[in-house]
Structure 1
Amino acid sequence: MLTPERHQLILTLLEEKHTIRLQELIDHTHASESTIRRDLDTLEKKGKLRRIHGGASSLSTVKEEAPMSEKTEQFHEEKRIIASLASRFIRKKETIFLDAGSTTNLMIPHLDPSVIVVTNGPEHLPMLAEHGITTYLIGGFVKPGTRAVIGANAAENLRQYRFDRCFVGVNGITEEDGLTTPDPEEAAIKKNVLHQSLNRYILADHSKFGTRTFTRFGSLEDAVLITDTSSPLVKTLQKNTEIEVIHP
């Protein structure tokens, strides 16, 4: 494959996925790792993409979110280890909020049955019930694709609760824009949850760093970040927030 063809393929893949790992690009182009790294460096210098740890992300502001079926498959091993680490912060009999999402879902097998869970993630319910965990689902509009409960009714329902800890997903993290997510209504839920929690945690695999999505819902100092990367960007962000790094 000629260099211009590889560059176009890389940009096409980024347009579809918004973030992509180095190994995926190697698999798609059948080029060597060193060649792909040079391609990414060249495209970043031309202002076509942003390099992130282990891959690249689109420069455009992401306004759409991948469906839950796709999220569940992406970076599953990293998410599993992040979820395991996050669950270690929880004490018996605490009340916690579990955000809708694929990483928070993986926390459920690690929860002690004595905790109380409030969630806006209907997909969490079967596993929470299976583990005998007292659960409250906030009511509202069920968002197609991610299946998160959002909207005015959800926000109103949420106001009555206070949490010992919350565990919240994120779509983008940058030094300039903080914590972002594509949907303003979902952002409102996340923002309220952070404000109503004594201890706050953001669960983010490496693909979220260096990515900016449509709606800001928090600052870097608002929560502990739990992630699987120790990239230079994470080291920069540690100036503003506490970061727990796992190494899959």
Structure 2
Amino acid sequence: MGDSQNLLAEQRRALILDEVRRRGGVRVNELTRRLNVSDMTVRRDLDALARQGVVEKVHGGAVPVPEATAHEPGFEAKSALELRAKEEIARAAVAMAAPGSAIALAGGTTVYALAQRLVGVPDLTVVTNSVRVAEVFHNARRPVGGSPSAARPGAATVVLTGGVRTPSDTLVGPVADAAIRSLHFDVLFIGVHGISAQAGLSTPNLAEAETNRHFVRAARRVVVLADHTKWGTVGLSSFASLAEVDALVTDSGLSPDARAEMAELLPRLVVAEEEAKAEGP
């Protein structure tokens, strides 16, 4: 893990969770040495991860919690996971949003990371069912000419669908579905709970799956944002096959076998960190 003394708590916990999942369990004394923090700090981190439901504390350490297909973590719990991967994915994906285009942003923490970069793309029309994503664009608006109601030039026009709020702070259900059905997007950016060759894109929330289906049908291009931990995970309900996906943006943690399979099944596979290195400074 390297020297993690100066990491933020959420970054440190993401590293711990990755270690738990990779090794099948960790011990407190190992983490204190690897992270260069106190025993008390590690125990607080494990307590926080246990409250999120992603690890189970055992004597002297922690083990992973098997994730049920119908379990849906909340937004805050998912926000702490794979932080670096999400930032790299967002950095690669922002180039796929052309100035002046109409885009859709479905819910999820990776799409949320992308939204923070999209505020710099001028004249976008953004449709989203994510309360958190809408807040990103709202907070980025700057008054001009002293008028509180005026937005900065080039600021995105944002449409937030109605609907019923899920644990991941997305709006789903008949109201959201009706709004999305009447629209057309140049590109849809969508995160997933799981992605696999057999099940395609999936989520544990049935209503969210239906809303996502409408997003996919309304988009000219579908770009999936998914870090390597999503590969092979299957949620309760599939909402799109891989044949409906135009591009997958992921991180370098994706295994060689998975990359080979994805490259065969998808028109475009983008491995974020590696593409950035290839492009140079």
Task: Output one character per residue of 1:195-228: Cα deviation in whole Å (capped at 9) or x when no partner.
Answer: 1111110110111011111001111121111101
Task: Name the CA distance, whole Å, in 1 between partners of 2:273 and 2:96.
Answer: 18
Seen in structure 2, the aligned counterparts of structure 1 residues 61 and 177 have a Cα distance that, compared at 3 Å, is farther
Mean Cα deviation higher: 235-244 or 94-103:
235-244
Using the alignment, how far apart are the partners of 2:95 and 2:24 within structure 1? Answer: 32
8 Å contact kept, 2:188–2:219: yes
Q: CA deviation at 1:28?
A: 5.7
* 2:25 is equivalent to residue 25 of structure 1: yes
Unaligned 5+ segments in structure 2 are: 1-16, 32-63, 141-154, 275-281
- What is the identity, as a one-letter code, of the residue corresponding to 1:25? G
Structure 2 length as normaliser, TM-score?
0.67
Distance 1:28 1:204 in 2: 30
Deviation of the 1:89 alpha carbon: 0.7
Alpha-carbon shift at residue 27 of structure 1 (Å): 5.2
Please point out which of 178, 184, 201 is paired with 2:223: 201
How has the CA–CA distance of structure 1 residues 21 and 28 changed in structure 2, closer, same or farther, with 3 Å as cutoff? farther
Which amino acid counterpart does residue 227 of structure 1 have in structure 2? Answer: T
User: Which among 71, 74, 80 is matched to residue 73 of structure 1?
Assistant: 80
Aligned-residue CA RMSD in angstroms?
2.6
> Runs of 5+ in structure 1 lacking a partner?
1-16, 32-55
Q: How does 1:78-97 map to 2 (within 5 A)?
A: 78-97=85-104
Q: Secondary structure at the match of 1:71?
A: helix
Question: Taking structure 1 as the reference length, what is the TM-score of the superposition?
Answer: 0.76
Q: Cα offset for 1:125?
A: 2.1
What letter is aligned with 2:138? A
1:1-248 pair list within 5 angstroms? 21-22=21-22, 25-26=25-26, 30=30, 58=66, 62-111=69-118, 112-131=121-140, 132-143=155-166, 145-223=167-245, 224-228=247-251, 229-231=253-255, 232-241=257-266, 242-247=268-273
Instruction: Look up the equivalent residue of 2:190 and give its one-letter code.
Output: V
Deviation at 1:61, TM superposition (A): 5.0
Aligned residues, how many? 207
The separation in 1 between residues aligned to 2:216 and 2:65, in whole angstroms, is 27
Take 2:193 and 2:162, find their aligned partners in 1: how far apart are those partners?
23
| Residue 234 (structure 1) shift | 2.5
1:20–1:57 Cα contact (<8 Å) kept: no
Contact 1:226–1:243 (CA under 8 A) maintained in structure 2: yes
Q: Which has the higher contact order (CA 8 A, sep 6+)?
A: 1
Contact 2:202 2:209 in 1 (8 A): yes
Query: What is the percentage of aligned positions where both structures have the same residue?
Result: 25
